């Protein structure tokens, strides 16, 4: 018998992980999506339930669409690691973590099956219906830990999720020139870019120097929001997509939250 009843009607089975503790602060207001990054689903499940590994997630979604719940939503699962978003660092307390079975970039990085994505959408829609999770706080692991993580990566169909009411998406601006900001560049344009990325939530300082940290954050932004070309260079397409995204987020958020997010890429 399972140790708890599933929080979602789309869960196939409960397989409790010992790796969780009490949340700090209020209820979760973020969903973080990951890929497992291991060669098999079974290896991923075993690791997420291994007390010595000290990692877990609330849900594990298999390629065929079946879903395991490993940790109750009210508990703090250990999936985000060292991370940052919009001034917050204890993202395990703020979020519900969903691991999606995919071997990832180190093992061939295949496409996500349609049945699996349909299951992710159904799961997320249920979570969003039960909890106060804004669309812009459905995020990738790579968004909140860009220096460590690539998942779920540029093949993940964020547009399809947004079309189903999960997450925020804008049509990426066309890639039509090669005029870019990149490593070694300095000045106001770099600072404006950094301020815009920080305004959206990324952990970046406006130094005016296009350093390696800036390249890494731009790469993470492209993986999620401009996946057609992921190179860490801030071309006009990247900057315009970021500007449109901030405008779309501000249009959805209450005025008191939007006041601090008026910077836009130039």
Q: Where are the domains of the chain?
A: 13-163, 180-258
CATH 1.20.1250.30 fits 180-258, yes or no: no
Axis-axis angle for helices 212-225, 236-252 (nearest 10)? 70
Helix, coil or strand: residue 237: helix
Question: Which tokens hold the place of 217?
Answer: 């954050």
Q: Which residues pair with 209 in a beta bridge?
A: 186
According to the CATH classification, is domain 13-163 in 1.10.3720.10? no
Written as tens digits, the pLDDT of the chain (266 aa) is 478 999 999 999 999 999 999 999 889 999 999 999 999 999 999 999 999 999 999 999 999 999 999 999 999 999 999 999 999 999 999 999 999 999 999 999 999 999 999 999 999 999 999 999 999 999 999 999 999 999 999 999 999 999 999 999 999 999 987 778 999 999 999 999 999 999 999 999 999 999 999 999 999 999 999 999 999 999 999 999 999 999 999 998 664 444 344 344 43
The answer to whether 25 and 77 are in contact (CB under 8 A) is no
pTM for this model (two decimals): 0.94
State the Cα torsion 154-158-160-165 to the nearest 10°: 180
Using the CB atoms, write b or e for 96-129: b if 16+ within 10 Å.
bbbbbbbbbeeeebeebeeebbebbbbbbbebbe
- Residues with active-site annotation: 99
């Amino acid at each position: 018998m399972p140790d708890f009843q599933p929080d979602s009607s789309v869960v196939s089975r409960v397989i409790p992980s010992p790796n969780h503790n009490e949340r700090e602060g209020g209820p979760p207001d973020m969903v973080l999506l990951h890929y497992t990054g291991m060669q098999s689903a079974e290896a991923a499940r075993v690791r997420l339930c291994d007390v010595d590994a000290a990692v877990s997630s609330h849900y594990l979604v298999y390629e065929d669409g079946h879903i395991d719940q490993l940790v109750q939503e009210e508990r703090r699962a250990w999936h985000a690691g060292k991370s940052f978003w919009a001034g917050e660092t204890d993202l395990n307390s703020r979020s519900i973590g969903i691991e999606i079975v995919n071997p990832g970039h180190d093992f061939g990085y295949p496409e996500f099956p349609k049945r699996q994505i349909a299951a992710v959408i159904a799961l997320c829609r249920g979570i969003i219906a039960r909890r106060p999770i804004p669309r812009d706080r459905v995020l990738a692991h790579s968004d909140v830990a860009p220096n460590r993580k690539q998942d779920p990566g540029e093949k993940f169909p964020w547009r399809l999720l947004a079309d189903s009411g999960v997450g925020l998406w804008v049509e990426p601006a066309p890639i039509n020139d090669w005029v870019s900001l990149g490593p070694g560049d300095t000045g106001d344009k770099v600072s404006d870019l950094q301020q815009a990325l920080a305004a959206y939530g990324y952990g970046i300082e406006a130094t005016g120097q296009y350093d390696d940290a800036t390249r890494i954050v731009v790469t993470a932004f492209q993986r999620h929001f401009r996946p057609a070309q992921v190179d860490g260079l801030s071309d006009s397409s990247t900057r315009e997509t970021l500007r449109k995204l901030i405008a779309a987020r501000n249009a959805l958020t209450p005025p008191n939250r939007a006041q601090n997010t008026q910077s836009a890429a130039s």
